[in-house]
Structure 1
């Protein structure tokens, strides 16, 4: 009889797909102008001109949607590579949460759309920090079962 996959194995299996979905989804955010960045004068700044855009019109902005898309794609590639190494259950999901957390917390410093704050950090950074800590736990915890390749 075949053993049923455990919850952490399911999480490991879906984590790369979530990262890839986020990479594609942030391209949609870029097209809509939501999740826009702060005003900047960097050479790669973007200027939205569509009046239907959610971003400020005619202002050079950090393309935070593209930053997040690139980060999510890097996460996807890393998870696929790492997952093929036959790691213990929960490690791929943990790595996803760590990478997502690091990218998201960093990129939040370049965003300008209001998401609420606690004074020292945005609500998103605090919530993402909790996911990052869960990821560290999953990635570093000792597994009672053996590794299944």
Structure 2
């Protein structure tokens, strides 16, 4: 829609260093909003309860962002290795991420941090499930503004047309608004998690529920995705993201059942 949010003309004495304009890109802007919102929620939920300082919380979030960036780029590379070997510059910069790569790199980073600081792992993962939803919603809005993660051609009532030359989506073509489908999916998951939180059966339930709900929803959204350069495990049938989603559902479902049974047996 609007990849560039706004530009500010730089003073002459700075234009030679930073260019003629200071440009704020929509994707980066919404990522920053999401990060601020996520840190705020994390601070409210953990600072008093676990005695975490602002510095510790900020360091934790910085580590997560680094892990997410690296993971997103690693998975992007493996979606099309030959392309990125020939065009390594495509991996540099903010454009192009694989969310599952970010998530799967962030999880072990979180676990190591929680154990190092002697924090209750499952309780903290439940908090991070909410934080992830908050950050992810803003990220997908940024995707919509930038035109990435676009849908297949569709002439239905909810179709969107990208006309800005800076957009990553095909221009002047009605497309499924898959970015907004993802926003709706994540907001729905967030509401479900908040409902579960009121009657939580076991620690870790929110995090495992998030993983399964997102994986299932993502598999559905994938049907309407049009950026086929992401590649397939089975051509035109099972995308990389759908394959990873299947694995996530199986693993998260196993642990959900295991923790549920353990809690149930302890009550009896």
Q: Output the TM-score relative to the length of structure 2.
A: 0.51
- Please give the residue correspondences for 1:34-45 in structure 2 after superposition, counting only pairs within 5 Å: 34-45=148-159
Match of 1:137 in 2: 254
Partner of 1:70: 184
Q: What residue is the counterpart of 1:59 in the other structure? A: 173
Aligned equivalent of 2:231: 116
Give the superposition deviation at 1:146: 5.5
Q: Greater Rg, structure 1 or structure 2?
A: 2
1:127 offset after TM fit, Å?
1.0
SS of residue matched to 1:98 = helix
Question: Which portions of structure 1, spanning 4 or more consecutive aligned residues, are displaced by more than 3 angstroms?
Answer: 144-147
- What CA RMSD, in Å, does the superposition of the two structures yield over aligned residues? 2.1
Alignment partners' CA distance in 2, 1:70 and 1:135: 22
TM-score computed with the length of structure 1 as normaliser: 0.89
Q: Distance in 2 between matches of 1:95 and 1:32?
A: 30
Q: In the comparison of the two structures, how many residue pairs are matched? A: 146
Q: Which runs of 5+ in 2 are unaligned?
A: 1-49, 51-117
- Is the deviation greater in 133-142 or in 95-104? 133-142
Kindly indicate whether structure 1 or structure 2 has the higher relative contact order, using CA contacts under 8 Å at least 6 residues apart.
Answer: 1
Kindly state the Cα deviation for residue 13 of structure 1 after the two structures are TM-superposed. 1.5
1 or 2, which has the higher helix percentage? Answer: 2
Once the two structures are superposed, residues 24-46 of structure 1 have per-residue CA deviations (whole angstroms, 9 ceiling, x without a partner) of 21000000000000001111100
Q: CA deviation at 1:9?
A: 1.6
Equivalent residue, structure 2, for 1:11 = 125
Instruction: For residue 232 of structure 2, give the secondary structure of its aligned residue in structure 1.
Output: coil
